[in-house]
Structure 1
Amino acid sequence: MAKEGIETLPTAGKLVAFYLSRDRVLALLSSQTLPAQVIAALTGQNAQMSTAILSNAVGSYLLQAIATDSVRTLPQLAFEGELKEGVPFIYNGHVTGKGFAASNKTLALSLTEKLDEPLAGKKLIFEFSKNGLVNSTAYTRMSGSTRLFAFGYITEIDDTIIRAVPYVVGDLVTSSHAITSPFGPTLELRPEEVEQFSGIDESWFPSQAEFKRMTRVSEQVVKELICRLLCEHSVPSDWGGEESDVLSANLLVAGHRHTGAFLLKGPARFHPMKPTDLGKNGDQLYRLFNIPARIYVIQHCHSIGAAVRKQAEAFALARSFVAPCQIMFMDGTTTARLLRAHGLWPDAAPISKKGKAK
């Protein structure tokens, strides 16, 4: 749940490292700002405590470096035309770890993942050495199909592959809970947590026939309802260069007002939302996150596909390094519930003499 005064990621999150490139980290971080024991661990001088320090302490300095340098995600770099060799980036998501089995007698390790839009058709490959593994957990945690956070830089780009080397690979977790848990889920806000949307009936699921009524609900109807619920007295007009469909400072969460930026999609494309549905250049979601908001809302008349959700989470993660934010998904079912709660759910279409809905 969003809370008043929630902190940015370098404070609210913790990076537990499984891999660290000591030389690259030392070059990245100013040794003058690091405690002596951290420098000792990075230079191999403190064997007794080095595992604990490298696993649990160095990550906080790297998170701060990411925030200070405004390090971007790969999709952001692609939209900004900055996807180049030598450019640093962050990645948080699914990867496949290779080389961690005992049968691998070499030092070579890798993490790979097929990328979605705007980098569809490309594969991300992190390449690194066993020498940088900082604890025994790394072998099981990084092997096979898994989810990890990585901060690295691009070494090579071609038509099908983006190669990179990491500064650090690990788990991004919450620092505010007694038991650590992944940080990613804390970025998502449920629609019912917004007080103006809390009247929806979560137990109602439209049947397939009922769900098709969403094709008769225009984006304008949804926009007008949202503006009315948020006490916005004017409904914004659509225009080609807009960054959001609705921008309101009246979202109430846990008794506090927050600014929300909305991306709305009506029934012109009645299918699961894909990144290619988001503007002529597929950059509508990227432009949404350029707005200084606290809550970013993606609404669609149908389901919201995994690629869109992953892209939104990546943008929210990058923004959370500099400002607290959350994302909220309002798919077709949630939208239908909201319409129904406020008397706007369409009646069943009349049946023609041929037995078909008109």
Structure 2
Amino acid sequence: MTSLAPDLESWFLHHDLVFKVLGAERAAQLSLQMPHMDQAFARARTRNLLEGALALAFQALEVPSLNELHLKGELAVGRLIWLEQSLHFRGIEDAYYKSKRDSLDHRGLVWGKLATDPTLEFEAEVNASRVTSDTGAHLMSHTRKGFMLAFIDDAGEGRISLRAVAVGQRLFSYGNRVISQAIGDVAHVWPQQVDQFKDVDFSRGAASDLDMLRTVPEEAVKNWFAEIVGQSEVPKDWGGEQYDLWTRFLSIDGEPVRAAIAFKGPAAFRPMQIADLGKNGDQIQRLAESPADLLVVQHCHTITSRVEHMLRTYATSPALVRKYMLIDGYATAAILKHFEYLPVE
């Protein structure tokens, strides 16, 4: 499967904190490569060096997401975290142009509500002189999907203060294309993109489709999916498995993928919440610990956006980026009706 290789385009970059992330030895090596500020394009060249070093460090450092630490109750001052979601920017663009005029310390704010749990708010005050360019200043206005690498400064009840290392967008090289994660979700796969489901009609969904699945056991759905994709070995369920089904017989646009799938049946016949995926959502974590190219969550009902964001967070960890797919009750019914495991009304 074509790999997703992430890079970073920064809108804000705190040089000293980048060196802290990289460690003393790598920081010393990088310092020797950095241009003098009186050289042409020194600012842009420095930024490119730091962005490249951070992108490589992401693959070596197992940096947890803020979502993951919050879910596990492991928020702690000094922890390095990352997050990628809608960010709100306040006063940064004005502060940036003021700092260019008078060289004084002007500040703005990055803040948001955690996508997997909006009861937790986070914020980071930023020095506008560390904004990387006029374009970066413009992008850090209003509300925009973005990526942040930061240290936890304070972890209080319902609110967390961060010290931003970098704010920007991740860029993914996918084949010959470079795609911004801030514009589109390059890791997401729709069921209709899977070659084995190419003839399924996903265009309609009715409440009766969900009702049809109310009495269908999870084990039956798992076995039917295995038959559909040609997977002869189907493991029995047990409490600590990484996944309910592992298969190498799925393909996307002709490219084979290794898929780890978690199935959820009518024991929780309601819109799926993170809590339905084990303590602290650990079923998603176990999926992500597998060597799969594609992480899949299936449910007999609808799937909430919080579950989708948590699955995407694990799938797009800076250390290892994979693709992910959700198969909700409507898509499940469409697939099973097409292959005649469920009656067509």
State the partner residue of 2:125. 127
Within the candidate set 154, 167, 170, 1:169 is matched to 167
Question: Is this contact kept in 1: 2:206–2:330, CA < 8 A?
Answer: no
State the partner residue of 1:354. none
Counterpart Cα distance in 2 of 1:47 and 1:212: 68
Correspondence list, 1:300-339, <5 A: 300-318=299-317, 321-322=319-320, 324-339=321-336
Correspondence list, 1:1-358, <5 A: 4=1, 6-7=2-3, 12-29=5-22, 30-34=26-30, 36=32, 39-40=34-35, 45-46=37-38, 48-78=40-70, 82-100=74-92, 102=94, 107-117=106-116, 121-176=119-174, 177=176, 180-182=179-181, 185-203=185-203, 205-318=204-317, 321-322=319-320, 324-346=321-343
* Structure 2 residue matching 1:209: 3-state secondary structure: helix
Change in CA separation of 1:79 and 1:145 when aligned onto 2, cut-off 3 Å: closer
Q: CA deviation at 1:155?
A: 1.3
Counterpart Cα distance in 2 of 1:273 and 1:326: 20
* Structure 2 residue matching 1:272: 3-state secondary structure: coil
Q: CA deviation at 1:286?
A: 1.9
Question: Is this contact kept in 2: 1:17–1:56, CA < 8 A?
Answer: no
Q: CA deviation at 1:70?
A: 1.7
Counterpart Cα distance in 1 of 2:70 and 2:47: 31
Change in CA separation of 1:144 and 1:47 when aligned onto 2, cut-off 3 Å: farther
Q: Which amino acid aligns with 2:41?
A: M
Q: Which amino acid aligns with 2:227?
A: R
72-81 or 165-174, which deviates more: 72-81
Question: Is this contact kept in 2: 1:302–1:332, CA < 8 A?
Answer: yes
Change in CA separation of 1:78 and 1:292 when aligned onto 2, cut-off 3 Å: farther
Counterpart Cα distance in 1 of 2:28 and 2:209: 64
Question: Is this contact kept in 1: 2:337–2:344, CA < 8 A?
Answer: no
Change in CA separation of 1:218 and 1:101 when aligned onto 2, cut-off 3 Å: same
Q: CA deviation at 1:302?
A: 1.8
Change in CA separation of 1:125 and 1:293 when aligned onto 2, cut-off 3 Å: same
* Structure 2 residue matching 1:24: 3-state secondary structure: helix
Counterpart Cα distance in 2 of 1:101 and 1:32: 32
Structure 1 residues not aligned, in runs of 5+: 349-358
Q: CA deviation at 1:297?
A: 0.5
Q: Which amino acid aligns with 1:332?
A: G
Q: CA deviation at 1:230?
A: 2.8
TM-score by length of structure 2 reads 0.86
Structure 2 residues not aligned, in runs of 5+: 99-104
Q: CA deviation at 1:328?
A: 1.0
Q: Which amino acid aligns with 1:40?
A: P
Q: CA deviation at 1:144?
A: 1.9
Q: CA deviation at 1:189?
A: 1.9
* Structure 1 residue matching 2:211: 3-state secondary structure: helix
Counterpart Cα distance in 2 of 1:157 and 1:79: 14
Give % identity.
27
TM-score by length of structure 1 reads 0.83
* Structure 2 residue matching 1:216: 3-state secondary structure: coil
* Structure 2 residue matching 1:345: 3-state secondary structure: coil
Q: CA deviation at 1:54?
A: 4.8
Change in CA separation of 1:276 and 1:101 when aligned onto 2, cut-off 3 Å: same
Q: CA deviation at 1:313?
A: 0.9
* Structure 1 residue matching 2:157: 3-state secondary structure: coil
Counterpart Cα distance in 1 of 2:279 and 2:247: 25
Counterpart Cα distance in 1 of 2:21 and 2:38: 20
Tell me the matched-pair count. Answer: 333
Q: CA deviation at 1:153?
A: 1.2
State the partner residue of 1:356. none
